């Protein structure tokens, strides 16, 4: 059984969603990120050297970084959610890296300056600037989804999970989305695995 270390309202929900999609047994061990790293369980620290969630241990081998974990889960346990060939694999990695390196950091800044920081430390101009940059990037995603149901190929894949989980954060912080992204997001949200993971946190 896979051991899954996560925490609500974090990047771990992305991997929780993927675990539900692949349908393998797992044990969800919640990690209290409010505790100092030294006080977190030793088994978690062994699985995640940086002390971040998510992490999994499968057959005695630890993995960390949610998007890498998700690709591993797809290729190992439900290959139809993974790439059919090297070109598709590159495309899935391309979108995963793109959303993680370009969009996600901007959304985190928006989240901090609209909700997480004490009110006196929030800067509306920072939130708006990063919200605008996020919207510019997500306009590219909208173009990529013209006349397409899913992001890579003709089927739902790990790329949809990785990118869709970040776009969900964009909706939480009121980043405007194009019609194709909105329709695609609605298809994702209708999936039972999505609903179960995000309800659980």
Q: How far is CA 121 from CA 11, 33, 157, in A?
A: 24, 22, 40
Please identify, in words, the CATH class of the domain defined by 84-195: mainly alpha
Domain extents for the chain?
Answer: 2-80, 84-195
Say which residues have a Cβ less than 8 Å from residue 163's Cβ, sequence separation at least 6: 95, 96, 98, 99, 141, 151
Cα 188 from Cα 141, distance rounded (Å): 15
How confident is the model over 33-50, as a mean pLDDT? 83
Rounded to 5 degrees, what angle do the CA atoms 80, 193, 102 make? 75
Q: Percent of the chain at pLDDT above 90?
A: 89
Least confident of 1-5, 35-39, 147-151, 193-197: 35-39
Q: What is the CATH number of domain 2-80?
A: 3.40.30.10
- Per-residue pLDDT, 137: 98
Tell me the whole-structure pTM to 2 decimals: 0.95
């Amino acid at each position: 059984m896979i051991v899954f270390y996560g925490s609500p309202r974090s990047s771990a929900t992305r991997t929780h969603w993927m675990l539900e999609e692949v349908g393998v047994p797992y044990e969800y061990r919640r990690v209290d990120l409010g505790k100092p790293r030294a006080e977190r369980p030793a088994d978690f620290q062994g699985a995640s050297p940086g002390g971040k969630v998510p992490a999994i241990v499968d057959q005695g081998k630890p993995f960390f970084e949610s998007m890498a974990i998700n690709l591993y889960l797809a290729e190992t346990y439900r290959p139809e959610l993974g790439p059919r060939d090297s070109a598709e694999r590159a495309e899935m990695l391309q979108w995963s890296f793109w959303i993680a390196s370009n969009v996600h950091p901007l959304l985190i800044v928006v989240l901090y300056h609209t909700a997480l920081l004490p009110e006196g430390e929030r800067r509306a101009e920072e939130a708006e600037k990063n919200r605008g940059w996020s919207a510019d990037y997500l306009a590219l995603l909208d173009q990529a989804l013209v006349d397409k149901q899913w992001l890579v190929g003709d089927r739902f894949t790990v790329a949809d999970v990785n990118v869709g989980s970040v776009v969900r954060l964009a909706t939480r912080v009121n980043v405007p989305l194009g019609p194709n992204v909105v329709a695609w997001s609605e298809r994702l949200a209708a999936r039972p695995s999505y609903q179960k993971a995000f309800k659980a946190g």
